Chain A
Amino acid sequence: MTSPTELQMNAHLETMAQKLRKTILTMIHQAASGHPGGSLSAADIVAVLYFEELRINPQQPQWPDRDRFVLSKGHVCPVLYSALALRGYFPMDVIYTLRKEGSMLQGHPDMKRCPGIDISTGSLGQGLSVAVGMAIAGKRDKKDYRVYCLIGDGESQEGQIWEAVMSAVKYQLDNLIIIVDNNGLQNDDTCDVVMPLGDLEAKFAAFGCSVQTIDGHSIPQIRAAFSAIRKAENSSKPHCIIAKTVKGKGVSFMENVVAWHGSAPNQQQFDLAIREIGEIQ
């Protein structure tokens, strides 16, 4: 049985995901460039992270005991910028400066310019290694923060991802949660056409991670996955969540369309997209 408060939280997080999607589209439309597809596929995951799961304090972005979030697939930063803005890391109108000269919202995340960014990313395959370093530091310092790292499925074609997974297993980083945004598409085509990833769940399990596969657009399933990880404390294994997602999720004409990986909607497309996402309750 799901309690009334749980149902309220699910509804709240669904609303936040809706807000994230509108903000993502608004900022990419305004910038006339950016990556809507992967930002929209990750929106529900990021909503649960930033509006429930992460132990963070927007007033103190450098709080040493905060949970860390590494956006290894840095090109989908509009989803992260939207979450940071909605959490109050910076004023909401900053989103209109995305990709503009002098903006804290660089085309890919820059930790030196933007509060709330734990590491600069943008070159695929690298963020997970950084997350491993953060998690090792947490273990050695006997701190209880967790490190969450969102990677792409296409990104997992980088060999460094697997170097990082091996080291996470060696150092028994049960404070590390790898989330794979498994939308099945990448820049040039589907992952299956460009470079098939095979059975990602089996691969992460074979490397020694504890793996869950979920619907990455189901708020209750995302929450349940994080909740299961909290219960599995001291498991000595890094956690991996394979989140099955749809690239462009929430905008019918963007869903599962490769071309929306890295192009901005024009005015007509933007208006239609905002209508499809609907009124925020």
Chain B
Amino acid sequence: MRSTHGLPTREAYGKALVELGARHPNLYVIDADIGRSCKTTEFMHMYPDQYVNVGIAEQNAAGVAAGLATCGKLPFITTYAVFGSMRMLEQVRQEICYPNLNVKIACSHGGLTPANDGASHQGIEDLGIYRTIPQMTVVAPADYYSAYALTIAAAERHIGPLYIRFTRDATPFIYQPEDTFEIGKTKILSEGDDITIISSGVVLSIALKAKEELQRKGISVRLIDMHTIKPLDIVAVENSIATTKGIITIEDHSIYNGLGSAVSEIVAQKGKSKVAIIGIRDRFGESAPYERLLAKNDITVEEIINQAGQLLGKEIKE
């Protein structure tokens, strides 16, 4: 069923894998029994010799992928963000990141999007966890087309450990199929000189709405899609410090150690700007509609406008 408004980014991952499987006979998918949900089924049928399913055993998945990588394979471990960033974390650190092996960890259900599944399945710490592991690259695409392009980029234009996060539920299309993406390099969606909004992941659609609203009210917005939070595009942050009066970050992730923290680290070192961090406020989610969960954490258009007013030191009126 194809929506004209949006699709889940996990579906882009599945499609990209099918394309990659044909081009790269050494590309393997390692599943841990949630392949159907993570959209690897088509790959499994088309390339059975490039497919391994270890069952409900994520720690083993990480080790098997490492072993395959030492033999020249390019494994994509596929699971949910909670398991991919926590159940197998120490295995990924020891057997993949420490030896700097070319293994990708591709996780669906990142952030609050598996909304009705509740807290156990909402991976809200994943980006921060992997940001602290040396040699790891961390990517969170904003929509279907960028998820597709960044999956291809992860396989073909990146060597070493990489974590990429997808979402369960449909999110709006933002980019076009022909748009290009480079890991570690931001997409600047608009230039402006009042406020910078830096977004990572599928909440970019909220940031876009806020930008339009602010511009209607006469506020000029620099909007950045920081799809790679590690390595951070430091130049893009420095330029935002230089050209705008304040920075708002927005992410479907804990306010600790994700995009907001990464940007703040640069601003703290350079000075001359302020950061407002919008994200999950150090608490677990619950079963509820996605929009409700975002609203409970003020991950909203209204909060971006509110923060813009505070950073600019003026009330932004209707």
A residues whose Cβ falls under 8 Å from a Cβ of B: 64, 68, 110-112, 118-123, 125-138, 140-141, 159-160, 163-164, 166-167, 170-171
Q: A141 near B64 (CB under 8 angstroms)?
A: no
Interfacial chain A residues near B49, Cβ < 8 Å: 140
Q: A112-B100, A120-B99, A163-B54 are in contact. Are A137 and B60 (CB under 8 A)?
A: no
Q: B99 near A167 (CB under 8 angstroms)?
A: no
Interfacial chain B residues near A121, Cβ < 8 Å: 94-95
B residues whose Cβ falls under 8 Å from a Cβ of A: 49-50, 52, 54-55, 57, 59-60, 62-73, 75, 90-91, 94-95, 98-100
Interfacial chain A residues near B59, Cβ < 8 Å: 125-126, 129, 159-160, 163
Partner of A128, one of B63, B75, B90: B63
Q: A112-B99, A132-B64 are in contact. Are A167 and B70 (CB under 8 A)?
A: no
Max chain B C-beta neighbours (<10 A), residue from A110, A122, A135, A167:
A167
Q: Which 8 A-B pairs have the closest CB atoms?
A: A133-B67, A129-B63, A137-B71, A163-B60, A163-B57, A133-B64, A130-B67, A134-B67
Interfacial chain A residues near B55, Cβ < 8 Å: 163, 166-167, 170
Residue of A nearest to B65 (CB): A133
Q: A120-B99, A134-B67, A140-B49 are in contact. Are A129 and B60 (CB under 8 A)?
A: yes
A256–B74 Cα distance when bound, in Å, is: 44
Q: B94 near A126 (CB under 8 angstroms)?
A: yes
**Can you list 23 contacts pairing A with B, beta carbon distance less than 8 Å?**
A64-B72, A110-B98, A119-B67, A119-B95, A119-B99, A120-B99, A126-B94, A126-B95, A128-B63, A129-B62, A129-B67, A132-B60, A132-B64, A133-B63, A133-B67, A133-B68, A134-B71, A136-B67, A138-B71, A160-B59, A163-B59, A166-B55, A170-B55
Partner of B67, one of A112, A132, A163: A132
Interfacial chain B residues near A133, Cβ < 8 Å: 63-71, 75
Partner of B94, one of A123, A163, A164, A170: A123
| SS of B interface (majority) | helix
Residue of A nearest to B63 (CB): A129
A56–B73 Cα distance when bound, in Å, is: 21
Interfacial chain A residues near B57, Cβ < 8 Å: 160, 163, 166-167
Q: A112-B100, A120-B94, A160-B91 are in contact. Are A137 and B63 (CB under 8 A)?
A: no
Interfacial chain A residues near B66, Cβ < 8 Å: 119, 129-130, 133
Interfacial chain A residues near B70, Cβ < 8 Å: 68, 111, 118-119, 130, 133-134
A141–B73 Cα distance when bound, in Å, is: 10
Min Cβ gap A150→B in Å is 15
Residue of A nearest to B98 (CB): A120
Residue of B nearest to A123 (CB): B94
Q: A137 near B90 (CB under 8 angstroms)?
A: no
Interfacial chain B residues near A119, Cβ < 8 Å: 66-67, 70, 95, 99
Interfacial chain A residues near B62, Cβ < 8 Å: 129
Min Cβ gap A113→B in Å is 10
Min Cβ gap A211→B in Å is 20
Interfacial chain B residues near A112, Cβ < 8 Å: 99-100
Min Cβ gap B21→A in Å is 14
Q: A120-B95, A122-B94, A130-B95 are in contact. Are A164 and B68 (CB under 8 A)?
A: no
Interfacial chain B residues near A126, Cβ < 8 Å: 59, 63, 91, 94-95
Q: B60 near A167 (CB under 8 angstroms)?
A: yes
Q: B99 near A160 (CB under 8 angstroms)?
A: no
Residue of A nearest to B54 (CB): A167
Interfacial chain B residues near A64, Cβ < 8 Å: 71-72
A160–B98 Cα distance when bound, in Å, is: 19
Min Cβ gap B108→A in Å is 21
Q: A129 near B99 (CB under 8 angstroms)?
A: no
Interfacial chain A residues near B60, Cβ < 8 Å: 129, 132, 160, 163-164, 166-167
Q: A137 near B72 (CB under 8 angstroms)?
A: yes
Known: A133-B65, A140-B50. 20 other contacts (CB 8 A): A111-B70, A112-B100, A119-B70, A119-B99, A120-B99, A126-B95, A128-B63, A129-B60, A129-B64, A130-B95, A132-B63, A134-B71, A136-B64, A136-B68, A137-B68, A137-B72, A141-B71, A160-B63, A163-B57, A163-B60
